[in-house]
Amino acid sequence: MKTSRILTGLLATGAMLMLPQPAAAQDDTDAKAQPAAVEIEPQVRSRDMVGTFGGQRVSYRATIAETVLESDDGKPEAVVVTTSYVKQPRDASRPVFFLFNGGPGSGSVWLQMGAFGPKRVAIPSDARDDGAPPYPLLDNPDSLLDVADLVFIDPPGTGFSYLTKGTDPKKYYGLEQDAEAVAKVIRLWLNDNGRWNSPKYLGGESYGTTRTAMVARELEGSTYNDVGLNGLILISTILDFAGREPTPGNEMAYVVTLPNMAAAAYYHGKVQAPSVEAIVEEARQFAIGPFITALLKGQDLPDAERATVRAEMARLTGLSERYLDQADLRVTAQRFYKELLRDRGQTIGRLDARYTGRDFDNAGEYPDNDPSFYGIDAGYTAAINSWARETLGFETPREYQSIGREPGRHWQWSTGQGRGAYLNVAPYIGQAMRQNSQLRVFNAQGYYDFATPFFGAEYSLNRMGIPQDRVELHYYDAGHMMYVRDEDRAKLSRDIRAFIRNR
């Protein structure tokens, strides 16, 4: 794909719109044979604001802008929307942090309106649902604007970004295609804002961490025109997808979720321990020792050893030995959500196991829905629409795709790692770090996150040639979106702020 000019930069005097230049026809015959490409005038809206972040008073410019991505013959294929927050007056020596969410169809609303943007939506911090509107939009002192300029990217098919009519989804909805598009948007933003020599950080949440690895490969290793990166910031990491697929014979899926089960059981009072950290460490050692050994022995597992493992597993997870025996020691996360609090008539959340819900059928095998998601999504959706449309003045009839379905329907997961192989992008991080001796990795995980288990992230990051002396692991007493909890949002902000300052 070819890329047209991007209009995310603002001059000091305000927004400057640049109209596309029509492609010159090679001759009259070609001009008659080829229909004229539809021109899209990129929209740019900005507003100057002031806020206090990390204890510092910061003047900044908020800009929401469209980038048009074109085919090789100059036809618009996709429009990508970015929202940037840049300290004023502009300082090219400041770090710039490019962020996106996951999905792969998720818009950047979650990180922007929940964690790092200058405003945040007020959501209950104690694992209660967000209720009905209005949802207050508050100043966010935990924004990172005091240490870095921020650029939130909505890849094609997410947020307000979209594919133009006639564009083949296969050109953008896939691991490599998506990474190529995001990398081009980043390069163009650097062009238009004069930031090529600024320290650069790249990061995402959930599938956004997968995207981070892919985009880093695209920026640092796909050509000789590298974009040097200072840091990768991974939040709720999923790099090796084997850990999330409990298919027959894939024992690692049960191993990486066991510490999460122990954490959830501790939170809900089903097991006793001095702290969540203590029970989690016990579960880690059990998982990579007696538990994985028992699973690998299969039907050759002696009865006495099985009984010992079953008893310890019951102590750590709060599940009955009878249930564990019936499950052959292999309890999927979906079953755990339903079984842990069945005696209370409750289920627990997938994104955040602190949340509880009630199903119509308490005798069912799996929960009806995820209470940790339906407990927050309305507030975030209202916040991003209010902020973009009413405050920043972005005009569009399109619905904001907090989690769009289209990308997932067409997504191409292959990276050429081998037919039938589980996706694993951790090697790309290892390669990038070996080729860039100053590239560092920050990893943040919530103890109660079953969508991207913390033990799975640890497993991914301590192999594949990733230099361990440049990896930081941080943990939070919440779930997938740890910033929903006030204390952990502040801690996450402090931790990342320190990571950026220590470059």
With 0-12 / 13-18 / 19 or more C-beta atoms within 10 angstroms meaning exposed / middle / buried, residue 301 is middle
Give me the pLDDT at residue 31, please. Answer: 40
Alpha-carbon separation of residue 477 from 24, 119, 199, 495 (angstroms): 59, 23, 30, 14
CB 499 within 8 A of CB 472: yes
The percentage of the chain sitting over the pLDDT mark of 90, rounded to a whole number, equals 75
pLDDT digits (tens, 9 = 90+) for 432-487: 999 999 999 999 999 999 999 999 999 999 988 899 999 999 999 999 999 999 99
pLDDT of residue 243: 81
Q: How far apart are CA 346 and CA 440, in angstroms?
A: 42
Question: What's the rounded mean pLDDT across residues 137-161?
Answer: 97
Least confident residue range of 136-140, 220-224, 279-283, 290-294: 220-224
CA distance 356 to 102: 24
Per-residue pLDDT at 7? 40
Question: Please, which pLDDT band fits residue 375 given cuts at 50, 70 and 90?
Answer: low
Q: Which residue has the higher pLDDT, 366 or 410?
A: 410
Q: What is the pLDDT of residue 19?
A: 33
- 164-168, 224-228, 279-283 — which is least confidently predicted? 224-228
pLDDT, average across residues 46-70: 97
**Average pLDDT of the chain to the nearest whole number:** 89
Cα separation, 242 vs 253, whole angstroms: 7
pLDDT higher than threshold 70 for residue 419: no
pLDDT recorded at residue 223: 64
Question: CA–CA separation, 426 vs 429, rounded Å?
Answer: 5
For residue range 383-396, what is the model confidence (pLDDT) as tens digits?
999 999 999 999 99
pLDDT tens sequence across 1-47: 555 444 433 333 333 333 333 333 334 444 444 445 568 888 999 99
**Quick one: pLDDT at residue 303?**
97
pLDDT for the residue 230: 97
* Residue spans per domain, the chain: 2-12+36-242+377-501, 247-374
Can you identify the CATH homologous superfamily of domain 2-12+36-242+377-501? Answer: Alpha/Beta hydrolase fold, catalytic domain (3.40.50.1820)
pLDDT for res 377 = 77
Single out the residue of 106, 66, 349 nearest to residue 204, CA to CA.
106
Residue 283: is its pLDDT beyond 50? yes
| Span 222-236, average pLDDT | 88
- pLDDT bucket at 372, cuts 50 / 70 / 90: confident
